Structure 1
Amino acid sequence: MRNTIVRRAGLVGAVLVAGGVFAGVGTAQAGTPTGAAAASGTTAATPATAATPATAAGTADLGEAGFTKGSTTVTVPTLAPCAVEGPVSATASPVSKTGLTFGGGTTTCDTTVTDPGNDLTTTTSTANGKNFELSALVSVGGPRVRLSSYTVTCTATQTQTSANWTFSGLGGITGLPSPMPANYTKPLTKSNGTALANAVFNTQTLPGDGSISLTMLRFDFLPASGITGSVTVGRTACSPTP
């Protein structure tokens, strides 16, 4: 079967379709703000400076969940969180709850010294997960959503941050655009078109201070499902290094 993949620079992602199974990839970037000052009737350029980032230096996790269906409340705390400040790595075993499975995975939040003389560093914060399944919607006529694997990464230097995501083996969701826009919402529906939940892909936050936050996929349940709450899959964030 012929496969086609489309990439475009900027805050978008690409989706690859092969035999009815979806894979995706995306990138976002943020530059460090710069500033200039003038005084005493003369103009002088100051060195590039950035506001204090609201985002942590570097973090990643596999996801989390909190939702209620009928009399059952499902809670999955943040899985395998890591941070540049520590812990710098984490591992999560598979977690199976009513209507939901996270297949486990690993995270790392590394710092690399690139110029010892000037104390320059880069950071890389990555989460690798596998075998995710959301089955909470099946009993109300919705799809069973599966992901074979997924990865989110945030990389930071002194002047730039970039965040990337990839996933493979997506089942239960079809008709995704390629390239994938930032903050793209795909309704998950019954056969009659009733929306039960929204699957929000490629959620990006760029505060303007050079930092960036990325959530690969989030499920927000809607009233017609009889479920309240949400599920998050794959998160990372980082700020420019000092």
Structure 2
Amino acid sequence: MRNTIARRAALAGALLVAGLTAAAAPAQAEPQPGVANIGSAEFTKNGTTIKVPTQGHCSVEGPTSATAQVVTKTGITFGGGTSSCTTTVTDPNTDATSTTSTATGKNFELSALVSVGGPRVKLSTFTVKCTATQTQTNANWSYGGMSGIPNPPSPVPVGYVSPIKKSNGTVLANAVFNIQNLPGDGSIGLTMLRIDFLPASGITGKVVLGHTSCSPTP
């Protein structure tokens, strides 16, 4: 599964989203000029709060690369991964540059819903990437080996919600794919997947997988 966004900085408001339907994107922080991370989590179950800080964060302003190790806590595992945020001089005469920000995670597992009758959620691999030049930004994401979440359509609409249910149909959480922030200046903010726990699960909080953003270069 792969989705791509492209923006031309010279045409603020002119948006090419590869086959995506128009939809209101859930709010997120303003895009930063060249960052990426594998994800994070914070949720509370049975009075205990589980926190996994942002994994594998990189930025073109430093650190420009990161390696995340396996993190296992009650109900969740991030299987590690890598990230890289680079700046390349494309024209030494004018100091024109391009940036590439990428994060790749692997072997993610969410088991917090199993004890309340929900599925075990797994992704074997996932990647987010954002590239930028003076005139254009592009972002894309992909994943493989997903189970426990109904597959979204292809291409994936902006902010597409895939309910995570018990066998009797009770919705325990929402998996929100392809969350975008497009402020109109050519920048892109992209989150591949966010899992929002719902009251029926007895859990509060969220899990985020794969975030990147980039802005037109100076």
Identify whether the pair has TM-score above 0.5, normalized to the shorter chain: yes
- CA distance in structure 1 between the partners assigned to 2:206 and 2:150 by the alignment: 20
- CA distance in structure 2 between the partners assigned to 1:34 and 1:139 by the alignment: 50
Task: Please state whether the residue corresponding to 2:32 is helix, strand or coil.
Answer: coil
CA deviation after TM superposition for structure 1 residue 30, in Å: 1.8
Using structure 1 for the length normalisation, give the TM-score: 0.81
Q: Which amino acid is 2:75 matched to?
A: G
Size of the alignment, in residue pairs? 201
Using structure 2 for the length normalisation, give the TM-score: 0.90
CA deviation after TM superposition for structure 1 residue 34, in Å: 5.0
Match 2:129 to one of 150, 153, 158? 153
Unaligned 5+ residue runs, structure 1?
Answer: 1-23, 36-53
Q: Structure 1 residues 140 and 87 mapped into 2: Cα distance closer, same or farther (>3 Å)?
A: same
Q: How does 1:26-37 map to 2 (within 5 A)?
A: 26-34=3-11
Q: Which amino acid is 1:99 matched to?
A: G
The question of whether the paired residues in 2 share the 8 Å contact of 1:33 and 1:208 is answered with no
Q: Which whole-Å deviations, capped at 9, do the CAs of 1:128-182 have from their partners, x for residues lacking one?
A: 1100001111111111110001110000000111101011100112242122111
Q: How does 1:34-183 map to 2 (within 5 A)?
A: 34=11, 54-183=30-159
Task: Please state whether the residue corresponding to 1:224 is helix, strand or coil.
Answer: helix
Runs of 4+ in 1 over 6 A off after TM superposition: none
Match 2:163 to one of 187, 192, 213? 187
- CA distance in structure 2 between the partners assigned to 1:71 and 1:161 by the alignment: 43
- CA distance in structure 1 between the partners assigned to 2:41 and 2:179 by the alignment: 16
Question: Aligned-pair RMSD on alpha carbons?
Answer: 1.2
- CA distance in structure 2 between the partners assigned to 1:159 and 1:133 by the alignment: 39
Task: Please state whether the residue corresponding to 2:119 is helix, strand or coil.
Answer: coil
Structure of greater Rg: 1
The question of whether the paired residues in 2 share the 8 Å contact of 1:30 and 1:162 is answered with yes
- CA distance in structure 1 between the partners assigned to 2:44 and 2:138 by the alignment: 35
Unaligned 5+ residue runs, structure 2?
Answer: 13-29
The alignment status of 1:225 with 2:218, answered yes or no, reads no
- CA distance in structure 2 between the partners assigned to 1:239 and 1:109 by the alignment: 13
Alignment partner, residue 8 of structure 1:
none
Identity of aligned residues (%): 65
Alignment partner, residue 16 of structure 2:
none
Q: Which amino acid is 2:178 matched to?
A: N
- CA distance in structure 2 between the partners assigned to 1:197 and 1:66 by the alignment: 14
- CA distance in structure 1 between the partners assigned to 2:45 and 2:119 by the alignment: 16
Q: Which amino acid is 2:168 matched to?
A: N
The question of whether the paired residues in 2 share the 8 Å contact of 1:82 and 1:89 is answered with yes
- CA distance in structure 2 between the partners assigned to 1:178 and 1:81 by the alignment: 28
The question of whether the paired residues in 2 share the 8 Å contact of 1:152 and 1:164 is answered with yes
- CA distance in structure 2 between the partners assigned to 1:126 and 1:137 by the alignment: 30
